[in-house]
Amino acid sequence: MTDKPPNHLSINPKSPFYDEAILDRGIGIRFNGVEKHNVEEYNVAENWIRVAAGKTLDRKGNPLTIKLKGTVEAYFRDTAAPDE
C-alpha cells in the first residue's frame, strides 16, 4: 500500500469506491480544517464529503446523506500498512 489514501473512498460496500483493506487500515478526514468522524464518502479532487443527515433513513434502510463542499484532506491514521 502507499502512504497516500485514495482520492475517492466510500464506507458503503455496494459502492464501486469501497475498499475494505484501506478502511481496515484507518482513514482520517479533515474537512475545512476540522476532524470529521461521520463521513460516509469523500472525494479529495472534487472537494466534497457526504455525511449522514441525522438519524433519518431512506426506504431501503440506508442513512440519508448530504454533500458538503470545502477543503478535504484524507490521511491514514497509522503510519504504515500492517504486514501479513
The cell 500492517 sits on which residue?
82
Domain residue limits at 52 = 8-76
What's the pLDDT score for residue 2? 58
Distance CA 79, CA 77 (A): 7
Answer whether residue 70 shows pLDDT above 90: yes
Distance CA 64, CA 72 (A): 21
In a domain, residue 28? The reply is: yes
| Count of structural domains within the chain | 1
* pTM: predicted TM-score of the whole model, two decimal places: 0.83
In a domain, residue 13? The reply is: yes
What's the pLDDT score for residue 77? 87
Task: Please name which of 53, 54, 55, 31 lies closest in space to residue 42, comparing C-alpha atoms.
Answer: 31
In a domain, residue 84? The reply is: no
pLDDT in tens, 33-64: 999 999 999 999 999 999 999 999 999 998 89
pLDDT in tens, 3-15: 889 999 999 999 9
What's the pLDDT score for residue 66? 96
3-state secondary structure at position 21: helix
In a domain, residue 40? The reply is: yes
In a domain, residue 12? The reply is: yes
Q: Supply 77's cell numbers.
A: 491514521
In a domain, residue 23? The reply is: yes
